[in-house]
Structure 1
Amino acid sequence: MKNLRLLSVLFIAAIAASCSSIRVSSDYDDRADFTAYKTYGFFKDGIDKADISDLDKKRIMRAIDDEFTKKGYTKSDKPDLLVNFFTKSRKEVNIGNYNNGWGWGYGWGWGGGPWGWGWGGNYTSVRTDTEGTLYIDLVDPDKQELVWQGVGTGLLTQDRDKKQQLINEFVAKILTQFPPEKK
């Protein structure tokens, strides 16, 4: 019976984990002519201020390079767009309380044998996750104005082997909304 309870808790946890995804949104200047932008470069002063490790900064920059290349943009020392990014994070505590309640089933219950009525018991789980938000800003260097901002929020990992994959997913999902489709 304990194995069945443990299996059901693990199943619920697996479903909850698979439902977590990266939520994205974007905003832009309606007057910006996005067809005029062909090149990009990184805004080093802004990126240096991001409160993450230099290794994660490199990972994000590689992912942005990949996505901009796929979109046909060229990296330049004199870019049409400056790319800046910054991050925020917060701890999230999730408490699950599972009650199997009363019921008929296998196990020593009130029936005097292996089958009968009984109490299934309670199970409480506590999990701490870190939710992170990545902001990608695109600035017109001639006008010195923000023309586009994309935001992605989702659960982070400390698993070194999964970091680049997760960062790639964050950046790709955010940049699916660039350039914006004007209505």
Structure 2
Amino acid sequence: MKTLLQRTFTSIAATSLLLLTACSSTPKNDYDVNYDFSQLKTFSQLAPATNNDPLSANRIQQAIASALVNQGFSAQEQTADFHVSYSFKVENKPKDSGFSIGLGTGTWGSSGGASIGTSVDVPVGSDTAKVQTIQIDIIDPSSNQLIWRGSDKFTFDEGGAAKADETNITVAKILAQFPPNTN
């Protein structure tokens, strides 16, 4: 028979896991339901539109190539089965207030108790975060029509290695949904 403390700990652990899962973003995608994706084996990347952030553009382009090769596609500049294009934008988003409420219970000997507490985070530094949204388009080269589109976003405070890692993770999450499962 579980004690009240064991049940409370189990409940808190399950709630924490649920909250962590809810906080992660899920990529979104759409595709041509009449297209036969099973024929796609090779890809080429289209030149990106000019932008004012060549570091991010280069990271995204490399992450796309890496993710597609890891999925078994081959890069081929001439006569590829599909073209890949991408775009991205960075926006400022207000940071969360950091207000939280906690609930706890426990036992000590033959006594038990419960408590409620609150906390407020005081933002240090900027009160906004940067959100980068990445959109990846798959285009049929014979018709020049969009056949698949995926997008996702991530939050960052600074550039460098952490942003590069998050770019790779986000691109991989987007392309994990390509090709769509049409069975």
TM over 0.5: yes
Give ranges in structure 1 of 5+ residues lacking alignment. 1-15, 101-121
Residue 80 of structure 1 corresponds to 81
Q: What CA distance in whole angstroms lies between the structure 2 residues aligned with 1:90 and 1:166? A: 16
The percentage of aligned residue pairs carrying the same residue is 26
Amino acid at match of 2:81: D
Distance 1:25 1:52, change over 3 A: farther
Residue 178 of structure 1 corresponds to 178
Q: 1:8-27, aligned counterparts within 5 Å?
A: 20-27=23-30
Distance 1:94 1:55, change over 3 A: closer
* Native 8 Å contact 1:86 1:136 kept in 2: yes
Distance 1:89 1:23, change over 3 A: farther
- TM-aligned CA deviation for residue 82 of structure 1: 0.8
- TM-aligned CA deviation for residue 21 of structure 1: 2.9
* Native 8 Å contact 1:21 1:154 kept in 2: no
Q: What CA distance in whole angstroms lies between the structure 2 residues aligned with 1:52 and 1:24? A: 25
Give ranges in structure 2 of 5+ residues lacking alignment. 1-18, 102-118
**1:142-182 deviation per Cα after TM superposition (whole angstroms, max 9, x unaligned):** 11100000011221342312122111101010011001001
RMSD: 2.7
Distance 1:158 1:19, change over 3 A: farther
Q: What CA distance in whole angstroms lies between the structure 1 residues aligned with 2:130 and 2:21? A: 16
Amino acid at match of 2:27: V
Structure of higher CA gyration radius: 1
Equivalent residues, number: 146
